[in-house]
Structures are given as structure tokens and as C-alpha cells.
Structure 1
Amino acid sequence: MNEVSLLSYSLPLIREIGHMWDDDGTSGHPDRHMETINVFVYVKKGNIQVIEGGTEYKITGGEYLFLRKNVPHWGTSLYSPGTEWYYIHFHDSLNDMSLEESPEFSHYQQSSLILEETYHSHLKLPKQGNILNPEYTELQLKKLNEDFMSPHPLRPLYLSLMTYQFFIDLYMNRLKEMKKTKQSRIVGKMIELFSSSASAKLTSKEISDELGMNYAYLSTLFRKETGKSITQFQDELLIEKAIKMLKKESVNISEVSHALGFSNPFYFSRVFKKVTGVSPTTYLSQTYRS
């Protein structure tokens, strides 16, 4: 499947936004190969047939489709009479190398820490889907189309920002469906378990016993779904708790280390730096304290 992705720190760069219709059903999707342009198509009413790289897609009213750059696409059937649609043509900064090097953005609940590595990931947009609220979506697309035609001096930047928000909304709608899978439910339970732990990391036996499942399976599933190991995830949650304690309470590093179950302050400091990139002392010198 030719899925479209965006780097987390890069906006979709708009080339064209438009609104089209075919009252008589005399046209079909154009035969083209757009080397650097991704395409988003939303059908307001009617039907559109597109073949991308040999795979046929049919889009009806209230549905959308992303077409990936550098993959030929065409249509063999005419639009149904009265078909109306919006489209967005956009560049991205992804190439095959950057896509391979960056992990997929993890949509699972994280700690409150926003780490730099979060932005070195890519967001995989849903290939095709139904719109849950067509009226709202069509208002958004109408506004984007109007803004595309406006003479605003910051038009390209504004359009890119608004389109990114629009795409993220589509992504969030798809997450509601993804969370219904068995694997997502298991990982969700694991994250709830780790988050509710008062202090110290849970052992492999404790995790296995609590969920009634083999730890090796849970470990493999967790890494596959979140992109992180169980140890890494629990470390981040503990460091989040450590930062809150150090910022709001009159405690030192040794006391925090002990309270969170670390074997000694030196090991705590090593984990702290691994998670945040800096030592506890440096982190606190760069932030506000109550």
C-alpha cells in the first residue's frame, strides 16, 4: 500500500488546493505521474475511481484518499454525474532514506516529558477513510480553498499550517478505530499498569502476572506498537515523577533516587541523562522551580 507520511517536524508544503465538479459525468481521473507531489482527494458527492500503481480505489461521498508521490495513478471509469470533490496537492520533505531512518510517531499515551526524539519521527497518514462529520470537514476544505485564492502575504505558510491541522484531525479519527484492535487494547492496559505504579519499575514477573500473559510476547508487542522497550517506557515515567518531585519539593537527588526505587543516586543520574539528555542538576538549572 502506497501510504503517505509526513515528518513530525515538517509541514505539508502546499502547491495547489481546489474544488471541482462534473455535472454530466463526462470526465475521469487524469493519467499522471507526479514525482514530488502527494495528492489528497475528498469526494463531497458522487463517485471517483482511481488506480494507483495497479491498485484500484473507489471513493464515494464522504470518503477521502491519499495518493503518494512518484507512484503513477489514473482512472479508467468516468465520474458519476454530479460528482463534486476537493483536492490538495502538497510536497513533503521525506525521501526513502529519511523514512527508513525515522520511526513512526507513537500515538500511545506517553509521559508528560516532550523529548527531542519525538520530533524525529514520521506520521503515517491513513490511506483511505470515511469522514465522521462531513459537514464540518467540507467547511474546513471550503475555507482552505478560499484561503488558497486569497492575496494574504503569508498565504503559503498559513495554508501549510492549516492543512497540517486538517491532516492530524483525519489521523486522530483513524486512531479511534485502531484502538479497537486486540493488540492496541493489550498495550493500553500495559501503559495503564505502568502509569499507576506508585514507584519503581515493575519486574517482568509482575507484569506477566498482572496481565496473565507471557512476558516475551508482551515485550515484543509493546516495542512493535510503541517503538520503545518496556524498560525505556518505564524509565521515562519514573524520570517524569522525579522531575515533578525535584521541582516542587524540598528534596535532593539522593532522596528522589531512593523514593523511586533506584539502586543508588549515580544510577539514577545515568538514567535521567539517558532520558532527558542532561544531568538532573543541569535540567533543574534550566527550568523554573516552585
Structure 2
Amino acid sequence: MNNQIEIINNSIPLVREIGLMNDKEGILKHPNRIMKDLNVFIYVVKGRLQINENGDIFHLEKGSYLFLRKNIHHWGDEFYQPGSEWYFIHFFTNDLPDQTTEYSTYGKTSLIHREEFNTKVTLPKIEKVRNHRYISSHLDKLFEMFQSSHPMRPMLTSMHTHQFFLELYLENIEKFAEKKPNRMVTRMIDYIDDTKYKVSSQAIADHLGMNYAYLSTLFKQYTGKSVTQYQNEKMIENAIHLFQNENVNVSEVSEHLGFSNPFYFSRVFKKVTGLSPSVYIQQLYRN
């Protein structure tokens, strides 16, 4: 199975049409077509739909959704089940630059880096949702917004559709959270987060009872960061919290967080944030 939909995080899917269809008599098939510029999202409210995309056959029942990618031939071989009802969304997406990396939900701190928006999310091709009523309600609202006469209708509809797609993406990720590699990365993050100072590679290996080289490779694969980079971000996150909420200077924060000296702390701070601590403090709104 291929032809997945990828969306870059610095743009949103641009909606051309949202519709609600039904086939009371079971006399319809999925249209035979190639939509050159439009991706398609289909969600089944009730009944059963059969769709063939370039030779891959999909059977959709109540609570199931499917993404069809632009410029790929798709059609129906079978009539829909009588009484079927489904939503569809037709939307444009920007082509992705080469070597765009997948966004990782692991290893996040409160710091937001610009490069995070140059990543992509790959939407699940076909899935069945956990909460059919919630998804149907969300689509009802999107459909209502699309039909409205609001002057910002195109932008608002596209923004809310993007949010809806991200919710489907996150639900799909949660289904894989209990796999062993995912659990290992989560345990590493929890251990680092629960420790005030930097954790040594040996301490991490001992805590998880596994080879550190394997663990660090796994961490990089799932988070897109090295263990050192993540620990530096956590330390600087704590430093920023102190700068925002306490009347402290650079030396005091450096000592509080266990850095060897203020110069090393300042170097790490600038590497993480792009600013020196003194410049950051000048730009800060203090509580």
C-alpha cells in the first residue's frame, strides 16, 4: 500500500470542496477519475464503500476513512451498500521539497525551533477511528463552515481541516505508542526529565539495562535529536523558566543548573536558542 498523503508543516491543506453524500438504493460506484491537483479524503458515516486506487482495493465501513492522493487513478468496482452515507473533502497540497523529514512527537520541550515547521506529517492511508461520534460531529462542523457565507470561509475551512487531519494523525500515532522501541524512547525521556542535572550515558544505560549505543541510535531515530541535544534543550528550558520568574543573573542560573561555568552555560544557551543569555533577558517579559 502506498500513495500516502504528506503535508509540510509550514503550509495547510487548501480545501476546494466538502460534501456529504448518500446512496439510499445502492446504485452508485466510486467515480472513475484522475484528479490531477486534488487529494481526496473520504469518511464513512454508515454503510460500506469499495474503492480501487491504482490496483489497491479498499473496503470502507462505518467509522473508516481513506486518503486518495492527487494524480493517481482511482475508481469503484462494486456498487455502494444501500443506505451508505459518507463525507468527502477535496483539497490541494503543496509539493514537498526533497529530503523533507518526518515530524517527531517525541522529545519535545517548550522551546519551538523554526526548523520544526520545515518537517512533514504523513497521514495514515486508511484507518478506523476510535470515536465515530466525535469524528462525525467534527465533520458536521467543517461541512457547516464550508457552506456558510462567512467572508473568511476559504481560510477558516482550510485551517480547521488541517487541525482535523492532525488529530487523525495523532490518533494513529497513539496506536503504536506501546511498541517496544517507542516505550524505550519514552522511558529515556522520562528518566532525563526527572533528573535535575545532565544524565551520563552510563547512567542511562544502567537505568534501562541496555547498551547505550543502541539506545542513543534509537533516540535519534524517534526524536530527530541526539540525547545530548535533548538534554541541553531541557536545561535551557529550565534556565528560561528561571529568567522569566526569578530575579536571577546568568551566573546564578548557570550554577543552579550544574554547569561548570557561566561561559559554558552561555555557549549552550546560544546554541539552543540562537541568542546569548544577556540578549534573551533584554527581550524578556518578566513576571
Unpaired runs of 5+ residues, structure 1, are none
* 1:260 alignment partner in structure 2: 257
* Count of matched residue positions in the alignment of Structure 1 and Structure 2: 286
Q: Give a deviation string over 1:130-185, Cα, whole Å, max 9, x none.
A: 12221222122122223222222111011112211211221222232121211111
* 2:82 alignment partner in structure 1: 81
Runs of 4 or more above 4 Å deviation: none
Are 2:107 and 2:230, in contact at CA under 8 Å, matched by a contact in 1?
A: no
TM superposition shift of 1:273: 1.3
TM superposition shift of 1:63: 0.6
d(CA) in 1 for partners of 2:146, 2:195: 50
TM superposition shift of 1:109: 4.8
Q: Give a deviation string over 1:62-102, Cα, whole Å, max 9, x none.
A: 1101112222222222212221110001111233xx2x343
* 1:13 alignment partner in structure 2: 14
Is 1:94 the counterpart of 2:105? The answer is: no
TM normalised by structure 2 equals 0.94
Change (3 A) 1:252 1:147: closer
Is 1:210 the counterpart of 2:207? The answer is: yes
TM superposition shift of 1:31: 1.9
Superposed, 1:121-270 pairs within 5 Å as 121-199=119-197, 201-270=198-267
Identical counterparts, % of pairs: 48
d(CA) in 2 for partners of 1:267, 1:2: 48
d(CA) in 2 for partners of 1:13, 1:252: 47
d(CA) in 1 for partners of 2:214, 2:51: 40
d(CA) in 2 for partners of 1:284, 1:103: 33
Equivalent position to 1:273, from 254, 261, 270: 270
Change (3 A) 1:65 1:180: same
d(CA) in 2 for partners of 1:44, 1:285: 54
* 1:33 alignment partner in structure 2: 34
* 1:2 alignment partner in structure 2: 3
TM superposition shift of 1:18: 0.6
d(CA) in 2 for partners of 1:250, 1:32: 65
d(CA) in 2 for partners of 1:32, 1:273: 53
d(CA) in 2 for partners of 1:149, 1:249: 51
Is 1:115 the counterpart of 2:113? The answer is: yes
TM normalised by structure 1 equals 0.93
**Corresponding letter in the other structure for 1:194:** I
